[in-house]
Structure 1
Amino acid sequence: MNLKQLSLLVPFIGMLSTSAVAQQNNVSDSVDVFLKNKMEQRHIPALQVSIIRGGKVLKNTTYGVANLEYNIKASDESMFSVNSITKAFVGIAVMQLVEAGKLKITDPVSKYIDSLPDTWKKITLQQVLTHTSGLPDIMTPDEQVMGKGLESMAMAEVKKLPLEFAVGDKFSYNQTGYVLLGQIITKLSGMHFTKFIEERQFKVAGMKLTRFGDSFDVIPNYAGAYRMTKQLGDDYIRTKTPGIGYMQFPEFFRTAAGILSTSTDMANWIIALKTGKLLKEKSSIEALWTPAILNNGKVGGFNRLTNGYALGWPTVTREKHPAVAPVGGGRSAVFVYLKDDLSIVVLTNLMGSNPDQFIDALAGFYIQDIRTSFPTK
């Protein structure tokens, strides 16, 4: 190529670069409009979003009000509870112990915990992680953790209950197994499971603000918890405006829920996982994200979108644009699209906002042929 040809090519390259930036800005603006509409439709006070592609964060934006009582605007440092997305961190922690040669997911739980009921003794770590164990739930009918904050009391109560179904027969969301996993992680790692997750995931991934906590804790920049329902007798009624929600997770229960984070930190966590910083072996991530197969040969999950469940990670099991999709408290969701090099984090402070229902539509701004498969209103 001579100098004359090069001089003609340089402006053309500049035009392409400018066009790409403009296109990216247009997509970002469209995402802003989309999410603000969702916030208005669903009465979401505050929302954070991160879009990750190619190992980089394409978009990281915060909208709305973190504290309705004092009209405090949400910022990039506002902290949101991720609730049961915590289980995805537990799945990684278990696989880290697998890589360290300290356990196998096919091991029975009873190999590491004594004094379990006879009916529990053949249940494996994999069955516990995937909610196919049949264990009785440690939650009371009114959604409170048994034991009044005491692990020994909670375990004594739940051990008296019969199995809910034959192991592997179906998917049934269950918190008891994750309490057991916390005990195992603590025993095999030599430190409390919260410390193990902090050291091996928060710090490694550069999650500078992420921590464990609940509504009882004083947490700087906490975006709070709001809800659109109010209890009236044994029923819950829908309200027209958000009211304050309260969540308390005893420390022994914090493998099931209890992490607070920002979309920035969650994006860093996804990047760290996908680049081998949290799990070294590709086979470990494959195991982490493979949904359990039930005794009838099918997968089971929450609904027709998140229709499978792997090791702490709900899955969107479908031919086109499959994903793993941890969800938490009906208020936060993370979708990692397995064939599209796209990950989306949406955190909100409204329980029942269900961002998992509109993340596919949000992904449509980046994946041309995706079709939302769940209601988006």
Structure 2
Amino acid sequence: MKKSFLILVVLLISGMMSAQNGGNDMKKFESQLPQEGRGNVRVAYQGKAIDQMIYEFMEEQGIPGMTLAIVQAPYIPRIVGYGVTDIEKGNLAAAKTLWPIGPISQGFTAVAIMQLYEKGKLDLNDPIGKYLKEIPEPWKSISILQLMQHSSGIADYREQKAFDVSANYQPEQLVQMVATLPLAFDAGTDVKQSATNFLLLTSIIEKVAKMPYHDFVKKHQIDYLGLKQTYFGEDIPNVKQEDVTTTANVHQTFKKDKDYINPSETTTGYVEKEGKLVVAPTISPTSLKGFADIWASAENVSHWDIGLAGSVLIEKPENRDIIYKPTKLANGKTVPAMAGWQFYNHKGLMDIKGNVSGHSAFLSRFTDASELVCVTLLANKEGVDLTNLGRKIAAAFDSSKMGTGANDDLLYTYESLFSVDETMSKIEKVLKTMGIPVFAKFDHGKNAEEVGLKLRPNQVIVFGSPKVGTALMQENPSISIELPLKISVWEDKNGSVWASFPQMNLMAAEYDMESNPVIGKMQELLEKIVIKAASQY
């Protein structure tokens, strides 16, 4: 018995020493291996790995499929597919999946214009009437640069009742939809995104380059960079895709044809209607020319993005600056946007994003030399804002530089393009448009100044619907402490401006009201208000 007991003690001590040595072994390379930032293998943000963040986001938003690509120039160290690209067929989202990249397509158009500019083929200040003789007279004095800036005031044909994203058009047919409409503002005095601007740019490219827009971009960007999974919509029929509906939803061709191993497949887009996902209208190759007409894999978007980092696509840095810096209008106003890109107070941060039938797309670039992280997210559900998810993913690579500085589980936090004052003013305008009453506004920065203290700009607005709030209090009177609703707008130590509010699902859980559908609608409303106020487009 004694002998058995001694053996057990020895084994336990040996095990403990082995575990301790194992722990020491884990730390013995600590001085050599990256512990944070570039090359760190522990890519997580606020305790959540990237996969977990994406899984939770897709579940919350009802997204069938998504592909993520990460750039740490000149590398693309991570390309991951999640979910399915077609609910009915069960095709998987993968590295080579082809997604319509929506308004990111504007970047290809802008690069094409700058390439012609560098060759001396056109001047950005040329009036577009010099190249386009058949456009309405009021448009002719608008400059090429103003089309790129979205400062033309020309109406967006996508907003017209006659527009059908699935229909095939000639450019003049789309122009005709808005030809008789007055300019929204005098050219060069404001910025409003319009697909018509970029449609006109493609026509100018064709006139100057003496070849179709499609061919010019393919030659000087797609083929030049070797992008094997980047296509114009008109070329999609050439992509080899197996019709799995003929084989009981199971891929078979890859067993006998190497081209079907890890195939490039197009996605099916979805929209939410009455709480269910339904197939969105197909996108015609000609309905969004120059604005949202390109399909690509997330990897190829990232590859093209790396090409933007230096002189590969646009040779001179001063020319790159024209399209990768805020717009300076002729009237002296500065707008934090250009050619579909938006620019933040965070040094070197820019993004381009948006929706196209059944899909959402996002590309952010942290271009400061201390960061150099770019995030591409492509999803097959329309109307999803991927900005916050993209920010958290970037922060997983260096939270001290790219994080929000707030607890993102507790607060919904969205970076604004504008100052605290301007963001708050825009929130008030959005609330007024929605008919939502404002009850109070607090300027904490001003209050601090009045008592001799310093505080970076920080404001809170209080608002809500008494009818909605009363219904919630009828269910649980104690929730009154959380009402009315509040949005805080604040500036951090680096000059970035954030708009934030409490996550409504956490509030619901605190009061045992998770099943109340009003709470979810409140979250959607608050997100809509913040995103609209904090964004240019």
**TM superposition score category, shorter chain reference:** 0.7 to 0.9
What per-residue deviation string (whole Å, max 9, x for no partner) do you get for residues 112-139 of structure 1? Answer: 1113322112111111111110112223
User: Aligned equivalents of 1:252 and 1:192: distance in 2?
Assistant: 16
User: Aligned equivalents of 2:162 and 2:332: distance in 1?
Assistant: 31
User: Aligned equivalents of 1:200 and 1:121: distance in 2?
Assistant: 28
Deviates more, 1:18-27 or 1:72-81: 18-27
**Aligned to 1:337, which of 351, 357, 366?**
366
Q: AA paired with 1:313? A: G
Counterpart position of 1:68: 87
Counterpart position of 1:243: 278
Shift of 1:217: 5.3
Q: AA paired with 2:364? A: F
Deviates more, 1:99-108 or 1:15-24: 15-24
**Aligned to 1:223, which of 227, 251, 267?**
267
**Aligned to 2:380, which of 349, 372, 375?**
349
Q: Secondary structure in 1 aligned to 2:84?
A: strand
Q: Secondary structure in 1 aligned to 2:302?
A: helix
Between the two structures, name the one with larger relative contact order (CA 8 Å, sep ≥ 6): 1
Shift of 1:158: 2.6
Shift of 1:314: 1.7
User: Aligned equivalents of 1:214 and 1:204: distance in 2?
Assistant: 19
Shift of 1:336: 0.8
Counterpart position of 1:323: 349
Q: AA paired with 1:40? A: E
Counterpart position of 2:435: none
Kept in 2, the 8 Å contact 1:148–1:154? The answer is: no
User: Aligned equivalents of 1:19 and 1:325: distance in 2?
Assistant: 28
Q: AA paired with 1:373? A: Y
Shift of 1:195: 1.3
Kept in 2, the 8 Å contact 1:137–1:174? The answer is: yes
User: Aligned equivalents of 1:54 and 1:215: distance in 2?
Assistant: 29
User: Aligned equivalents of 2:381 and 2:149: distance in 1?
Assistant: 26
Counterpart position of 2:225: 205
Q: Secondary structure in 1 aligned to 2:85?
A: strand
Kept in 2, the 8 Å contact 1:82–1:261? The answer is: yes
Kept in 2, the 8 Å contact 1:182–1:252? The answer is: no
User: Aligned equivalents of 1:159 and 1:224: distance in 2?
Assistant: 33
Shift of 1:346: 0.8
Q: AA paired with 2:133? A: D
In the alignment, does 2:316 pair up with 1:272?
Answer: no
**Aligned to 1:36, which of 47, 55, 60?**
55
Q: Secondary structure in 1 aligned to 2:303?
A: helix
Q: AA paired with 1:107? A: D
In the alignment, does 2:311 pair up with 1:282?
Answer: no
Structure showing the higher helix proportion among its residues:
2
TM-aligned CA distance change 1:338 to 1:182, over 3 Å: same
Over the aligned positions, Cα root-mean-square deviation in angstroms equals 2.9
User: Aligned equivalents of 1:215 and 1:338: distance in 2?
Assistant: 32
Deviates more, 1:52-61 or 1:214-223: 214-223
What per-residue deviation string (whole Å, max 9, x for no partner) do you get for residues 252-293 of structure 1? Answer: 742011111111111111112213221111112111212213
Shift of 1:209: 1.1
**Aligned to 2:389, which of 346, 349, 358?**
358
Counterpart position of 1:169: 189
Kept in 2, the 8 Å contact 1:204–1:277? The answer is: no
Q: AA paired with 1:270? A: D
User: Aligned equivalents of 1:151 and 1:246: distance in 2?
Assistant: 20
Kept in 2, the 8 Å contact 1:215–1:247? The answer is: no
Shift of 1:168: 2.1
**Aligned to 1:138, which of 153, 157, 162?**
157
Q: Secondary structure in 2 aligned to 1:135?
A: coil
Q: How does 1:82-161 map to 2 (within 5 A)?
A: 82-142=101-161, 144=163, 149-161=169-181
Shift of 1:206: 2.2
TM-aligned CA distance change 1:110 to 1:296, over 3 Å: closer
User: Aligned equivalents of 2:34 and 2:177: distance in 1?
Assistant: 63
TM-aligned CA distance change 1:154 to 1:331, over 3 Å: closer
**Aligned to 1:186, which of 206, 216, 231?**
206
**Aligned to 1:309, which of 337, 360, 368?**
337
Counterpart position of 1:233: none
Kept in 2, the 8 Å contact 1:215–1:246? The answer is: no
What per-residue deviation string (whole Å, max 9, x for no partner) do you get for residues 152-207 of structure 1? Answer: 33333432222222112222111111111111111111211011111111112221
User: Aligned equivalents of 2:384 and 2:315: distance in 1?
Assistant: 35
User: Aligned equivalents of 2:344 and 2:162: distance in 1?
Assistant: 29
TM-aligned CA distance change 1:322 to 1:277, over 3 Å: closer
User: Aligned equivalents of 1:166 and 1:133: distance in 2?
Assistant: 7
Q: What TM-score do you get using the length of structure 2 for normalisation?
A: 0.60
User: Aligned equivalents of 2:385 and 2:112: distance in 1?
Assistant: 26
Q: What TM-score do you get using the length of structure 1 for normalisation?
A: 0.83
Deviates more, 1:186-195 or 1:135-144: 135-144
TM-aligned CA distance change 1:139 to 1:111, over 3 Å: same
